[in-house]
Amino acid sequence: MSEPEITPELVREHGINAEEYQRILDLIGRVPSFTELGIFSAMWNEHCSYKSSKKWLRTLPTEGPQVICGPGENAGVVDIGDGQAVVFKMESHNHPSYIEPYQGAATGVGGILRDVFTMGARPIAAMNSLSFGEPSHPKTKQLLNGVVEGIGGYGNCFGVPTVGGEVRFHKAYNGNCLVNAFAAGLADADKIFYSAASGVGMPVVYLGAKTGRDGVGGATMASAEFDDTIEDKRPTVQVGDPFTEKRLMEATLELMQTGAVISIQDMGAAGLTCSAVEMGDKGNLGVALDLEKVPVREENMTAYEMMLSESQERMLMVLKPEKEAEAKAVFDKWDLDFAIVGETIAEDRFLIRHNGALMADLPLKALSGTAPEYDRPWLETPPAPALVNVPEVDVKAALLTLLGSPNYSSRAWVWQQYDHMVGADTAVRPGSDAGVVRVHGTDKALAFTSDVTPRYCKANPFEGGKQAVAEAYRNLCATGAKPLATTDNLNFGNPEKPEIMGQFVGCIKGIGEAVAALDMPIVSGNVSLYNETDGKGILPTPTIGAVGLLEDLDQLITNRPNEGDQLFLLGETVGHLGQSALLAELFDREDGDAPHVDLSAEKAHGEFVRAAKAEGLISAAHDLGDGGLAVAAVEMGLASGLGVSLISGGPSDAGWFYGEDQARYLLACTRDNAEALTTLAREAGVPLKKVGGFGGETITLGKVSLPLADARDAHSGGLLKVAL
Amino acid sequence: MKAGVIVFPGSNCDRDLAVAFERVSGRKTDMIWHKDSTLPTGLDIVAVPGGFSFGDYLRCGAIAARSPIMRSVVEFANNGGHVLGICNGFQVLIESGLLPGALMRNAGLKFVCKDVELKVATSRTAFTSNYRKGEEITIPVAHHDGNYVADPDLVKRLKDEDRITFTYADNPNGSTADIAGIVSENRRVMGMMPHPERLNDRHLGGTDGTRLFESLGEALVGA
């Protein structure tokens, strides 16, 4: 079959600019074939090459005694003691989910699960961070329903509990929703599998679903802005089959136990191309593929289509030839297609043959090694003007508005569609500070959270970046876990615009400073740029996924106080209202600076929460975030079905009840423990103040009160206003 | 009690169920692959776990019901053996003809995973003897197709023969007569949509499921 002629237009359609095309010509000394052009476009697009972000990603702290494997592999690997490791990563599937919400979100979950089990880990927890347009936007309801169903449809069938996440609504996502999927798995620390191939003449084995035309060009699509041709992009979205993924996982893990696997790479973005190049590149080897051996489900597929297909549930491995029979038995047991589709070669070449014809002959190392890297110009985000004209607030109305808003109401409608208990190890279910999953067969547990406050990041990228990490840290500490490590999913607009690049740089700097101070290094991550529609960018959204360890489930802290418990506020309150939920939800105002994060206070307060639990002094804890003291206290009350009373404080009602100062927690303790808790705080030098207590059926905020039932109704109904 | 758990390629509650049996019996649960055509000898109970046996394509449990091992499970049941099907397992037992009725898509059309209140409708089975009739217990559900459908004749027969084991206090899926679980005529085959194996541990939020396994352990001791 003859391939199309390479024209400037065709090059442009592949997302390759003139300068990059010249680089290709220089590299291979001739005009590329159509298949080769496709391969370059797959390897050099933003999604796969990180060409705009690499320079800045290198500045992030990625090391620590707990880190077994940092960024660069399919997922990060972190030591949890006793010879075990947690393997995790977060990745975006934003563009596909906007085009086709169910399949886009489903395959996002599938992709991140594959990243985890490719490393030899059995997935034990999933989360997802979702950002949608404003509730009144005509697409929001459909996207919310489709994305949530897609996540549930895939994760539930696969059999991983979805234990946490976020859902937010903001007009900046009207034309570009965000779907960030997180997965974590458990492995033996000495049985981690990597992508580097080794040995010449080793069989390259294809395992899993057959290859079709779905997703051809998906990674390139994910690296472009949207415009009114978006409907044409639907065929670039892949279709998921969680049942095949489940079998692929079982077969992969079983195969690893036979000792047959030399290296392994899942086929994600840009499928066969990326996975083969990755294995060769890491192992300093070439790879030769014979495409007629690739299992296909459509007729007359071209080399170009096969190399760029993003069909799901596929895996590429280099296997020990002497173990072929054992490997085949495993694949047959799980009824999976497998085929030897090529071999490793000594020369640094990427050779693609199809029906006897040589369709591509490229220097393999150069495909990833010489990918363009840009030092994009960036403009520092100007300091936000100080907040002026702080409005008077009706404390009671503000509470009901916040609790009943789509952004801060109960997420039960979402997580009840996710199986969050499969595996029978879920110790803390969604809806709390962090999801907690027991390490099977032990008394240890892992805590998972995902956090970011995009409006803070927009006002002040540096403080916003710090805050995303700090909030994740707090959510882990509030469950009694010691924070271990972090994955980042950086969602931004068009990096070619200096002000967007400035947001990116600012957030990275803030994240870097915070993960260093809080000792939670970045071990994996993903960058999603060009999140723009018709030239309008999203809010900068660097989602932080973080994992913590509980050495013993008896150290678990819930957010459920007991009747009669006293309530203490840990941390300083100055009443910061800039960029607060209060201003946004009640007054439609997003002004002022983001709250600044004192990282040493964060660390001290987080450690104090764990110390107080270890001393047996607290019965519940909760982090303070959006909506401040009043929202956090009422959330705790609602979790236990108890009323709550809060005293008044300074500087103003609005600042006291709804200010969003950082490094704060609410701690509940019995009357008997109150004195000991106060003493412990004094000794530790942390600010702790009694602010109220739990009990009854009434919520009292200073001078005003309302029935608990009113708060419950508002809280349980807020999201339904959008979803139903 | 020696338990065996059937494993289909898409089962995902097989381990959870095995653990629940082992905690009561202290004996290792046999994991039985769907392609096997015979059951191991010496089993006191065979359990069909939750999950998505064959991806829930076609109809939930329909393909699984035609797998080689299910012929042996049906034979085991017909010879008086005890069989427990949970969630997808309940669907498989219905598709295999061991239990009557049908399980359709939830009335709300969405997957639903949450704790629900169940009423114990009878304690006259090996599965429920440690509960009191009329007692309310908390057990989670997690399903998309748990809407139990039975015609009035079947409902009458199930009631007359005291074969409804659990009913929902607040029906989450539209099931006829709030039915959450039933037993066969000989009372030795039970199917239920809720997952007792998931509330079987103080660390996981409750232990109301434990007594189901204890009931079986006592009924089948040395059986």
A420/B16 Cβ within 8 A: no
Kindly determine whether residue A417 and residue B110, on different chains, have CB atoms separated by under 8 Å.
yes
CB atoms within 10 A of CB B152: 9
Query: Hey, are the CB atoms on A417 and B57 less than 8 Å from each other?
Result: no
Q: Which residues of B are catalytic?
A: 87, 195, 197
Q: What's the predicted TM-score (pTM) here?
A: 0.96
Residues of A in contact with B140 (CB under 8 A): 421
Q: Which of A665, A634, A128, A420 is nearest to B205 (CA)?
A: A420
Pairwise CA distance, residues A571 & B2, whole Å = 55
| Residue A201: both structure tokens together | 């003449």
Active-site annotation holds for A47? yes
Compute φ and ψ for B106, nearest 5 degrees.
-50, 145
**CB–CB contact B113 A335 (8 Å):** no
Q: Which of A14, A93, A170, A576 is catalytic?
A: A93
Supply the pLDDT for residue A215. 75
In chain B, which residues touch A (CB < 8 A)? 9-10, 12-13, 15-16, 19-20, 35, 50-52, 54-57, 110-114, 140, 142, 144, 195, 197-198, 200-201, 203-205
Give B219→chain A minimum CA distance, Å. 25
A499 pLDDT band, cuts 50/70/90, is: very high
Residue in this structure with the two tokens 């998972």, named with its chain if needed? A448
Stretch A526-548: mean pLDDT: 95
Mean pLDDT of chain A: 95
Token reading at A264:
């392994």
Residue A47 has pLDDT above 90, yes or no: no
Taking only Cα atoms into account, the Rg of chain A, rounded to an integer number of angstroms, comes to: 26
- Amino acid, single-letter form, for residue A227: D
Provide mean pLDDT across the span A42-66.
Answer: 93
Q: Which has the closest alpha carbon to A426: B112, B86, B114?
A: B114
Average pLDDT over residues A641-652: 95
Chain A residues 233-262 with a CB less than 8 Å from chain B: 241-244, 246-247, 250
Catalytic pick among A47, A170, A576, A622: A47
The reply to whether residue B110 touches residue A153, judged by beta carbons under 8 angstroms, is: no
State which H helix or E strand residue A525 sits in.
strand A522-528
Instruction: Confirm whether the ipTM is greater than 0.85.
Output: yes
Condensed to tens digits (0 to 9), the pLDDT of residues A628-640 reads 999 999 999 999 9
What are the CA-CA distances from residue A596 to residues A380, A464, A491, A576, A656 (Å)? 17, 8, 22, 9, 17
A378 touches chain B (CB under 8 A): no
Nearest by CB: A243 against B55, B112, B204 = B55
Q: Do A149 and B54 touch (CB under 8 A)?
A: no
Q: How far apart are the first and last CA of chain B?
A: 7
Show the tokens assigned to A386. 């100080």
A157/B55 CB distance under 8 A: yes
Which whole-number Å values give the CA distances from A369 to A125, A372, A375, in the listed order?
34, 9, 16
Residue of B8, B113, B193 best to disrupt the A interface, most CBs of A under 10 A: B113
Q: Which residues contact A218 (CB under 8 A, 6 or more apart)?
A: A96, A236, A237, A238, A269, A270, A310
In a 3-state reduction of DSSP, which class is residue B155?
helix
Q: How confident is the model at residue A219 (pLDDT cuts 50, 70, 90)?
A: low
Q: Which two tokens stand for residue B221?
A: 């001791």
Q: Tell if the CB–CB gap between B195 and A334 is shorter than 8 Å.
A: no
User: What distance in Å separates the CA atoms of residue A269 and residue A314, rounded to the nearest whole number?
Assistant: 11
- Distance in Å, alpha carbon of A666 to nearest chain B alpha carbon: 22
Domains in chain B (CATH in brackets) are 3-219 (3.40.50.880)
pLDDT value at position A216?
A: 78
Distance between CA atoms of A594 and A387, rounded to whole angstroms?
10
Paired with B93 in beta bridges are: none
Return the DSSP state at B63: T
pLDDT classification of A227: cutoffs 50, 70, 90: low
> Is residue A1 predicted with pLDDT exceeding 80?
no
Bridge partners, residue A450, by sequence: A545
CA distance B25 to chain A (A): 17
Answer whether residue A671 shows pLDDT above 70. yes
B54 contact residues in A (CB cutoff 8 A): 243
Regions of chain B where pLDDT drops below 50 = none
Residue A354 appears among annotated catalytic residues: no
